[in-house]
Amino acid sequence: MQDHQSGHQRLTLSDVQRPEYLANPYPLYHRLREHDPIYWDEEMHAWVLTRYTDVVAVLRDPRFSSAWGPVETAWMPEELRPQLEPALRAVSRQMLFLDPPDHSRLRGLVARAFTPRMVESLRPRVQRLVDELLDAVQDQGEMEFVADFAYPLPAIVIAEMLGVPPEDRSQFIVWTQDFGRLLDGGHLSFEELLTTLSGIADFLAYFRRQIAQRRTAPRDDLLQALILAEEQGDRLNEEELLGNCVLLLAAGHGTTTHLLGNGLYALLQHPEQLQLLRENPSLAPTAVMELLRYDSPVQLTSRRLTADVEWAGRRFKAGEEVLTVLGAANHDPEQFPDPDRLDLRRTDNRHVAFGHGPHFCLGAPLARLEAEVAFTTILRRLPQLCLATEQIERLPSLVFRGIKALPVTFASVLP
Ligand code: HEM
């Protein structure tokens, strides 16, 4: 698009896909924010918001809806409809795609089974898993950090929480990939959408069997807690229960993988910060928050207007979509002094990497726990950790920011 005032080619959000901005989108976000922090993007067919204050205000304003609306099935091939329709219905009952009062009810029920105390009780188990993943590579002197560590860790944690037996784990990991694709916005081809939904249908069938087993023989896991979840006599129905199991996987796996990958990459590029954390492991909680802000796994989320709204001199119309660019808000100099600097001691770090308002990430304590244990253990046990490549490849997504592969070397693994 041509900018008539400056005569320059005007940048838009889609330019994130260009190699230089995929490597580092923050200069692009600065340009968008400085040029026009609230602009209508013809290509995305949505408003794009890059200022911290606008992003947090939209995310807590009920006029900006998360709801999907009625499930459309007309596009489904007739012969696949019996399989795909229940999958789409269950997905549409995920709390992420609902507004109050349905959202509040479902979130309240799932949150009861997912308390910070319950998450904290997982610390010893997460520590054991982290140590096992490092033990597995100790004789190699190298690993591909994403495949060998960042990918399996969150998958195993959530699989165990839900009570998936170890023998079903590899199938389960394939499903989480399917669900992650669904959250990546409108970037799926028709074929990919069919594959994704049929993966979800298989997952639903698997979990229906797991639920039936637990109804006769209760177990002590998150799935059992969800089955029992009850508030004011109001149970989760099975569709809601299944839809929100899918969500826990979809929302919790890729995002945490990206936090581990982006975080380790950022540390390796800032040796003095890495050394600071190595020498001060008690800094881990603050450090993880800064890594979340500095290179956020979820770069944007969206809302749809339920009413006409006047916003900072703009007229938003009912039905229009608004993209809140979390990655841009997290680098807004009005909110974060020297925003492009990684500062593991940063205080007053009210980043929006986990969103904001009623849909604030339910899994934030779990993601933070996994990252804190992972980074402190890696820095303690791998004293000579180095990047094995100059060039890393980023995932080509506007929504998620992650690294495809991160080869690293190390001289030894301490016990
Ligand atoms: C919601 C980010 C890990 C479960 C969200 C939202 C963001 C987010 C930005 C809000 C989306 C919106 O408002 O539209 C992240 C990041 C993670 C992470 C960056 C890792 C670093 C997890 C984990 C789980 C999880 C580990 C669970 C196992 C959820 C759920 C919601 C959510 C259930 C929906 C909450 C609601 O709609 O009320 N997450 N997440 N997330 N996240 Fe996470």
Query: pLDDT by residue (tens digit) across 5-14?
Result: 444 568 999 9
Closest C-alpha residue for ligand 1 atom 37: 96
CA of 395 to the centre of ligand 1 (A): 19
Task: Give Cα separations from 113 to 211, 240, 320, 367 (angstroms).
Answer: 16, 14, 35, 16
Domain positions in the chain are 56-306+362-409
Indicate the burial class of 127 (C-beta count within 10 angstroms; 0-12, 13-18, 19 or more). Answer: middle
Q: Give the contacts of 252 (CB within 8 A, at least 6 positions apart).
A: 154, 158, 363, 366, 367
Tens-digit pLDDT profile for residues 144-203: 999 999 999 999 999 899 888 888 888 887 787 777 777 776 567 788 888 888 888 888
Q: Is 359 in the pocket of ligand 1 (CB under 6 A)?
A: yes
Q: pLDDT digits over 324-345, tens only?
A: 999 999 999 999 999 999 999 9
Closest residue by Cα to atom 11, ligand 1, is 355
For the CA of 107, the closest atom of ligand 1 is: 38
Residues 107-144 have pLDDT tens digits of 998 888 788 888 999 999 999 999 999 999 998 999 99
**Is the pLDDT reported for residue 85 higher than 70?**
yes
User: Does residue 301 have its Cβ closer than 6 Å to ligand 1?
Assistant: yes
Give mean pLDDT, residues 78-98: 84
Instruction: Find out whether the beta carbon of 182 lies less than 6 Å from any atom of ligand 1.
Output: no
pLDDT in tens, 150-167: 999 999 999 899 888 888
CA of 255 to the centre of ligand 1 (A): 8
pLDDT band with cut points at 50, 70 and 90 for residue 262 = very high
366 lines ligand 1 (CB under 6 A): yes
Closest ligand 1 atom to 59 CA: 13
121: buried, middle or exposed (CB in 10 Å: 19+, 13-18, 0-12)? exposed
Q: Would you say 383 and 361 are in contact if contact means Cβ atoms under 8 Å apart?
A: no
CA-nearest residue for atom 17, ligand 1, is 255
Q: Alpha carbon of 143 to those of 20, 130, 150: distances in Å?
A: 26, 14, 11
What sign has the CA pseudo-torsion 266, 270, 275, 280? negative
Q: Is 362 in the pocket of ligand 1 (CB under 6 A)?
A: yes
Helix (H) or strand (E) holding 164: none
Query: Quick one: which atom of ligand 1 is closest to the CA of 259?
Result: 21
Give distance in angstroms: CA of 78 to centre of ligand 1.
34
Give me 368's structure tokens.
Answer: 């933070």
Residue nearest to atom 31 of ligand 1 (CA): 361
CA–centroid distance, 354 to ligand 1, in Å, is 6
CA of 116 to the centre of ligand 1 (A): 14
The arithmetic mean of pLDDT across residues 284-308, rounded, is 97
Atom of ligand 1 nearest to the CA of 258: 21
What per-residue confidence (pLDDT) applies to 5? 47
Ligand 1 in reach of 96 Cβ (< 6 A): yes
CB distance 94 to ligand 1 below 6 Å: no
- Ligand 1 atom closest to Cα of 368? 21
Determine whether the shortest distance from the Cβ of 255 to ligand 1 is under 6 A: yes
Q: Average pLDDT over the chain, rounded to whole?
A: 90
Specify the CATH architecture of the domain 56-306+362-409. Orthogonal Bundle (1.10)
Report CA(248)–ligand 1 centroid distance (Å): 8
Residue closest by Cα to atom 38 of ligand 1: 359
Mean pLDDT of 95-108: 91
* Closest C-alpha to ligand 1, atom 6: 361
Tell me, using a 6 A CB cutoff, whether residue 107 lines ligand 1: yes
Which residue's CA is the closest to the ligand 1 atom numbered 25?
363
pLDDT at 4: 44
Mutate which of 112, 292, 361 for ligand 1? The one with the most ligand atoms within 8 Å of its CB, which is 361
Q: Which amino acid is at 353?
A: A
The packing angle between helices 238-269 and 364-381, to 10°, is 30
Q: What is the pLDDT of residues 14-46, one digit of tens each?
A: 999 999 999 999 999 999 999 999 999 999 999
* Ligand 1: nearest atom to the Cα of 96: 37
